[in-house]
Amino acid sequence: MAGNFPRPRGRAGKAAVLATALLPALAAAACASGSGSVQADDGTIVIGMDQDTSGGAAAYAGIVGKTIKDAVAEVNDKGGIGGKKLKLIVKSDDNDATKAPTVVRQLLSQGAQAIIMNSGGQSVLQVQALLKQQKVPAIAPVNITPGIGDGPNSAYTYSLANPTEDFGKVYAEAFTKAGYKRLALFKDDSASIAGMEKALMTPIKEAGIQVVATETAPVDTSDVTAQVTRIKQAKPDAMLVAALGGQMEVLVHNTTHQLIPDADRFSLASIGNQPDLWKQAKPGALDKLVFVGSITQENEKTAALAKFLSGKRGGAVSVTAYDAQAYDAIGMLAKAIEQAGSKPDGEAINTGLEKVSGYPSSFGQKGYTLSFKPGKHSGTDGLCGLILMQFENSQPGRQWPVYQPACG
């Protein structure tokens, strides 16, 4: 089955016992993840991660965070970088962009020399000025919000996933190839989706495709019957769902399957990269759904990542684009730290990131690479970081036969 690997059937449990008499230093050390007993000193390099744990981005941030920790542990297991171990410190902004600067300041105060932004795209944009002021780089592995890696304020922020504009270009060509003329848009009310809507929809509209209905629902909604009914009345040729995933998107597909069973549906990346959600869909609700994927077994780096994660987690693993982008973020950051020399600080690491080029990607089509350089902080080296995948039997199945983006 193209683009999908078996999932583990169990989840390892864990227990933690905290004593109230612990010394403050030991309590602080407990914030480190994926780095064993490494302490913050001259022999370590501190990486901070802002991870949404309870907001609208939590559904995918948890996947990213787990692989970030595994990738950091792998670096440390191999001896670190230049003899220095990585120490990962994690805090959450709860997908609230107004909290992001405070969280990043807390990470910087604990010695972070680089940041992983694992929250909503608006959180990344909110901290760009702070990162530039402090001269500390941040990588957003999965965010596709415009301006993170290619905007005027991106001097210290980097992105790996293809940006929203690329999604729009691919769907514009796909819808044209399929002969769709009338499109319905269903979106959630998150700040992240609002921030990317223009970049997503502009190429589609410029291709001559008419948007005949636009409906919105809260990310925590429990009923979308009214919105789907209005879409049905608009009689679109196809329906595009722009959402962060989570239970809200499953609800949209369940309701649409019930009320408009013959509707051709398309989605962004989220639903295809959140395996725990698939079982929440009603029988047949996801079948034939096409989403923007980035995973294929034809990419040797993807297969290698599956093998690594399976060994790390003690069972077969379903590799998602979020896993691959998280893993590559640490890989490219490690390359940058090597470039930074024996005393890597934020500014030196930023300069090092701008020298990482032609990095073999763990996602995308075979041979796909990632590159940074001054003025280009969006890692994508072309549209073939994207693959249109189709659900079959309630899980990603084959590549969509109607259209695939070309490399080059």
Query: For residue 213, how far is the Cα from the chain centroid?
Result: 28
The predicted pLDDT at position 37 comes to: 34
User: Residue 23: what pLDDT?
Assistant: 32
DSSP string, 6-70: PPPS----------TT--HHHHHHTTEESSTT--SSTTEEEEEEEE-SSSTTHHHHHHHHHHHHH
Per-residue pLDDT of the chain (408 residues; tens, 9 = 90+): 333 443 433 433 333 333 333 333 333 333 444 433 344 467 899 999 999 999 989 989 999 999 999 999 999 999 999 999 999 999 999 999 999 999 999 999 999 999 999 999 999 999 999 999 999 999 999 999 999 999 899 999 999 999 999 999 999 999 999 999 999 999 999 999 999 999 999 999 999 999 999 999 999 999 999 999 999 999 999 999 999 889 999 999 999 999 999 999 999 998 998 888 999 999 999 998 999 999 998 999 999 999 999 999 998 888 999 999 999 999 999 999 999 988 899 999 999 999 999 999 999 999 999 999 999 999 999 999 999 999 999 999 999 999 999 876
pLDDT at 39: 43
In 3-state terms the chain splits into helix, strand, coil percentages (rounded to 5) of: 40, 20, 45
Which pLDDT does position 19 carry in this prediction?
33
Give residue 366's pLDDT.
92
Per-residue tokens: 44: 């370590």
pLDDT at 217: 97
List of domains in the chain:
44-162+298-370 (3.40.50.2300), 165-293+388-399 (3.40.50.2300)
